Every structure is written in structure tokens, then in C-alpha cells.
Amino acid sequence: MILWTTALFASLVAAQTYPPDEVDKLAAASLSKVKDWLAKNPQGNCTLETAVRRKEWMDLTLAQRKEYTDAVLCLMSKPALTSNVAPGAKSRFDDYIVVHVQQTPRNHGSTFFLPWHRYYMWHYEQALRTECGYKGYQPYWNWARYAADPAKSPLFDGSEGSMGGNGAKANYNGIMIPGAPRPYDRIPAADGGGCVTTGPFKNMTVNLGPIAPILQLPRNPRSDGLGYNPRCLRRDVNKNSAAVTTANYTYDLITKNNDVYWFQTVMEGQFPQGKWGVHAGGHYTIGGDPGGDFYTSPGDPAFYLHHTMIDRVWWIWQIQNLDKRTKEVSMTRTMNNFPPSANGTLDDLSGLGVLAPDVKVRDLMNTMGGLDGKFCYIYE
């Protein structure tokens, strides 16, 4: 078993263009725990050998990265399924924004935050594969690799192998963090804020929102933000936000929080204490419009790499004690318990609106055999 783990770790390191950080090393060293758990809890046809390997953005080849962004652009070209409830939705890509907007008050600061987003990321991955011919799997963004200067990183440098560039320089006062004490109540503006003019998404049109804008933007014609409001993709790729996403923060999150309540609380942020958390840090590293809008943030394609990293961090935390942590939920059924609601359970239902049926939360807890065997993936 030790030899198996060492060999796999060596193969992971060899494949990387960045040296493994402490979180990468923990993930690789913990795979033996997955193997042991599977030996005691077989998951049908899902084994470590058959599981999908989701990879970090820069561990994909240039051709693979372009295949991914081409598939996202393809999804943007297909007609929406949600236009009857959201007149502003013009594409299949927009469908995912509509669902996120509609379900934000239920799926953040609640029992559903982690399992619902796992379902959401998987379903988006499936849409890219089944509707746009993508042969790969959903990549993630290892925040720590690029935290020192994300705007100049290969993720956001505007090259053909990136997720698009930063926005042009614009005048705005940064991002307010409601409820946070000074000086943590504002993320200072960086060097962007304007339209993205480089990379695969330079011609992208944002159709929905804003709902919680951080820039001066035309208001949406509907109060729910789901009317048609076309404009450019804007970003302020921000190293002030990225500063809370270095590997030490993620490692401490995984290793110092032994129950899911504190793991999720620290991850999402403790704003009254001036702690943003890696979840907010990653979102506001993208910033701009719609990336900086709490409700419509999936309208920036980089959202999906960020939230796949959120799922990866949860997965690494879970595999430290799979027997316990694939059955552990916390919090209530409403965001920050507003309005007050009962504690959530594994038998509560979680779904994706018109995109996918409700399933029990317990079906979303395990990446190896969850969702009636449809989940079968690990992270490299």
C-alpha cells in the first residue's frame, strides 16, 4: 500500500508544471485512505482505476485547455431551456446562472452549500461533454499557484490557453463586504474593472443581472435580475482577494476543522470577524461583473474552476475520515438561518430546477459512487 501511494504521488508530481504545495501533498498522501475505504465499502463499478481524474488548469495541455474553453463557448451558442421564467436567458450557459440565482438563498450558508454545488459542477461538466463534445472533465483552479499575482498568471493572462484576461482599468472603489469590520469591509480595487478584451471570452456577452453589483452598470429590467441586460464581461483580477487563498489557508482549513460546521463556516467566511475565507477570496479574485455578484457569479466562466476547487477541498477534507464525513451535514435549510428554519438532514432534497431532479443530500456526499453511481471521480 505504501508503495502504491508513493508511486501514484510520484506520477502526480511528474505531471505537474508547478511544484506540489502542502495541500497537493496531503491529497496525494491521503489516497491510500480512499483505497482502504473502497476495500471495505465497494462502490459497484467505481474504483480508483475507473474513477475520473479532475485536473488543475495548468496540468492540462494547451490543446486540452482550448478544448475546454471551446466547449464553454459551444454551450453559450445553444438555446436556453429557462427563457420561459428568465427572459434574459439566451443560452444553455445562461441556464446555470438562472438556477444559481433562483437557489442562492437556499444553497449558501446552509446545509446545502457543499452538496448542492457538487451536483451543480457535475451537471455542468456533463453538459459540456454530452452537448458540446468535450472529451475531458471539469478542471479546477488551485488558488495557491497564482495567488501572488493572479492577473499575470496563465489562468488570467489573456493568452489562448487562459480563461481570458483581466478587464481594462476602470475607476471604482473596490468591493464592499457587508457586516465586516474596518479595514476588512472593503477589498481594494486592483488594476481592472473594465471589459475583458483578450483571451477566449473577449467577445462574450453577459445577459443576466446585475443583482448585487459592484460596478456602475445598467440596472436589470426585472427586479429578480433575470431580464435581458446585454453587456461585456468585466473583471478586476485582484491579488488583494487572492491573498487569503494561499496554500497555508487551505491546509489549515482542512486540518484544523474537525466537524463540517466549522469546516464550512471557515471556508465561506466569518465576515463579522474580518475573515473572508477561501470561498469569498476566490470569488473576489475574479471580481468584476458578473464574477463579483453573489447571485450571478456563474456568469463568469472562471466560476466553475473556482467552485470545482471548493469541491476538491471538501473532498480532501472528507477523505481524512470517509466513514464519518460522507454522512456529516450541518447548519439549517436557509442562508445564515434567515428566515429561521430547521436543521438540514441527509434526507433533505436538493435539485437543479429545470436542469436536474431533486435527490437526497445523502446521494451527493460521496464522489466515489454517489448519485446512484454517476459520481465517480477524484482529484489529481
pLDDT at site 275: 87
pLDDT at site 128: 98
**Tally of CB atoms within 10 A around 333:** 16
pLDDT at site 180: 80
Answer for the pair 351, 359: CB distance below 8 angstroms, yes or no.
Answer: yes
Handedness of CA 156, 56, 373, 254 (dihedral sign): negative
Task: Compute the mean pLDDT over every residue in the chain, rounded to the nearest whole number.
Answer: 94
- Is the model's pLDDT at 2 over the cut of 60? no
Answer for the pair 190, 240: CB distance below 8 angstroms, yes or no.
Answer: yes
Instruction: Give me the numbers of helices (H) and strands (E) for the chain, helices first please.
Output: 13, 10
pLDDT at site 86: 98
Residue carrying C-alpha cell 485536473: 55
- Is the model's pLDDT at 352 over the cut of 80? yes
Closest CA to 229 of 248, 253, 205, 199: 205
d(CA 160, CA 305): 17
24 within a domain of the structure (yes/no) = no
Task: For 55, list phi and psi in degrees, rounded to 5.
Answer: -115, 160
pLDDT at site 29: 97
pLDDT at site 184: 76
**Tally of CB atoms within 10 A around 127:** 21
Confidence band for 171, pLDDT divided at 50, 70 and 90:
confident
233: β partners: none
Task: Report the pLDDT averaged over residues 305-317.
Answer: 98
d(CA 287, CA 268): 16
Extended strands (E) in 275-368 = 349-350, 359-360
230 within a domain of the structure (yes/no) = yes
Task: Report the pLDDT averaged over residues 95-121.
Answer: 97
50 within a domain of the structure (yes/no) = no
pLDDT at site 225: 98
pLDDT tens column, 283-304: 999 999 999 999 999 999 999 9
Confidence band for 9, pLDDT divided at 50, 70 and 90:
very low
Confidence band for 273, pLDDT divided at 50, 70 and 90:
confident
Confidence band for 185, pLDDT divided at 50, 70 and 90:
confident
pLDDT at site 7: 43
234: β partners: 195, 289
- Is the model's pLDDT at 10 over the cut of 70? no
pLDDT at site 272: 87
Task: For 5, list phi and psi in degrees, rounded to 5.
Answer: -65, -45
Residue 322 belongs to domain with CATH number: 1.10.1280.10
355 within a domain of the structure (yes/no) = no
pLDDT tens column, 40-82: 999 999 999 999 999 999 999 999 999 999 999 999 999 999 9
- Is the model's pLDDT at 89 over the cut of 50? yes
d(CA 192, CA 124): 28
pLDDT at site 5: 46
pLDDT at site 172: 85
192 within a domain of the structure (yes/no) = yes
- Is the model's pLDDT at 123 over the cut of 70? yes
200 within a domain of the structure (yes/no) = yes
Torsion of CA 40, 41, 46, 48, to 10 degrees: -40
362 within a domain of the structure (yes/no) = no
Which residue range is the domain that position 82 belongs to? Answer: 59-347
Q: How many domains does the chain have?
A: 1
pLDDT at site 1: 38
Extended strands (E) in the chain = 52-54, 167-169, 175-176, 186-187, 193-196, 205-206, 231-232, 349-350, 359-360, 377-379
- C-alpha to C-alpha distances, 301 to 74, 106, 260, 289, nearest whole angstrom: 12, 22, 28, 11
214 within a domain of the structure (yes/no) = yes
pLDDT at site 177: 77
